[in-house]
Amino acid sequence: MTFGLAVVVYLGVMAFVTAILHTVGGFAGALMMAIAIAPAIGVKLTVPVVAVAMIVSHASRAWLLRNAVDWPAFRVIFLVALPFIVVGVYFYVELSEAGVSLFLGTLLLITLPLRRWLKGRRVQMPRSSLAIIAVPYGFLSGASFGVGMILGPFLLGAGIAGEALVATVAVNGILLNLIKTLAFGLSPLLTIELMLIGIGLGICTIPGHHLGRYVLRQTPVRIHTLFLEGIMLFGAVYFLSKGLL
């Protein structure tokens, strides 16, 4: 598949815009990017392309907060999640275009109320129990995107908060998406051209994060949340309609 200049420009602009929204809302950056680029590249190609872009996006945040990473917690989560990430990728590869659309649309519909329920909760648990949540986290991460929010309450419950939480999730996101990229690279889905587009999208997110920080300081948090949840609802309807029609 070859993309024209107009499509490439559109993809870059969408990566920039969704990075602003990600910084403003604090969640669902990969989800929003996928919703924005799916009409241009097709639904099934969104997950592998976004995986490449998120390596760059997570790396920029992880570098800034590298001294705050909780490495023991990271190792528990990543080592357990690793095989399930690969299983999730190959589950995704075997789905039809319609199957992918239905899967992603359903996941988005579930994500909206789940995020509201999890927001502000702290699930008390020992650090060793992080391995339990790493299983569904790994599978869903391999087969979709934007499930990092699942980790938040459990990391808080294990005593990981503030910069340590953000940094640990960011480092985890780098390797998670790297594993996804390698697995997708062994499938027909991720070509060299798509990989280069993903890298370009990731680079376009960097200035978007900086502008998003400025926007964040100018508007109320409640407006951010409602706007972003509206985008997610639109994405759910879009993906489900592509799968059903």
Question: Mean of the pLDDT values across residues 23-40?
Answer: 78
For the chain, the first-to-last Cα distance in angstroms comes to 23
Written as one letter, the residue type at 105 is G
Question: Would you place residue 16 in the very low, low, confident or very high pLDDT band (cuts 50, 70, 90)?
Answer: very high
Q: What is the enclosing helix (H) or strand (E) of 91?
A: helix 71-94
Q: What pLDDT, on the 0 to 100 scale, is given for residue 139? A: 93
Per the structure block, which two tokens stand in for 24? 């403003």
Pairwise CA distance, residues 82 & 134, whole Å: 9
pLDDT at 10 over 90: yes
Percent of the chain with pLDDT over 90: 24
Mean pLDDT highest for which of 57-66, 70-79, 105-114, 119-128? 70-79
Q: Which of 1-10, 62-71, 94-103, 107-116 has the lowest mean pLDDT?
A: 107-116
Question: Would you place residue 117 in the very low, low, confident or very high pLDDT band (cuts 50, 70, 90)?
Answer: confident
Other C-beta atoms closer than 10 Å to the C-beta of 88 total 24
Question: Mean of the pLDDT values across residues 35-49?
Answer: 90
List Cα–Cα distances, 75 to 78, 79, 155, 156, 190, in angstroms.
5, 6, 13, 16, 27
Pairwise CA distance, residues 106 & 104, whole Å: 5
1 CB-near residues (< 8 Å, 6+ apart): 41, 45, 191, 193, 194
3-state SS, residue 147: coil
Pairwise CA distance, residues 62 & 67, whole Å: 9
The conformational region for residue 208 under phi > 0 = left, psi -120 to 50 = alpha, else beta, is alpha
CA 128 to chain centre: 25
Q: What pLDDT, on the 0 to 100 scale, is given for residue 83? A: 93
Q: Which domain holds residue 34?
A: 5-244
Q: What is the pLDDT of residues 163-209, one digit of tens each?
A: 787 788 888 888 888 998 999 988 888 888 899 999 999 999 888 87
Question: Mean of the pLDDT values across residues 80-105?
Answer: 91
Question: Would you place residue 122 in the very low, low, confident or very high pLDDT band (cuts 50, 70, 90)?
Answer: low
pTM (2 d.p.): 0.81
3-state SS, residue 221: helix
List Cα–Cα distances, 150 to 121, 202, 224, in angstroms.
11, 23, 20
Q: What pLDDT, on the 0 to 100 scale, is given for residue 54? A: 87
Q: What pLDDT, on the 0 to 100 scale, is given for residue 58? A: 80
Compute the chain's Rg from CA coordinates: 17
Number of domains the chain contains: 1
Question: Would you place residue 84 in the very low, low, confident or very high pLDDT band (cuts 50, 70, 90)?
Answer: very high
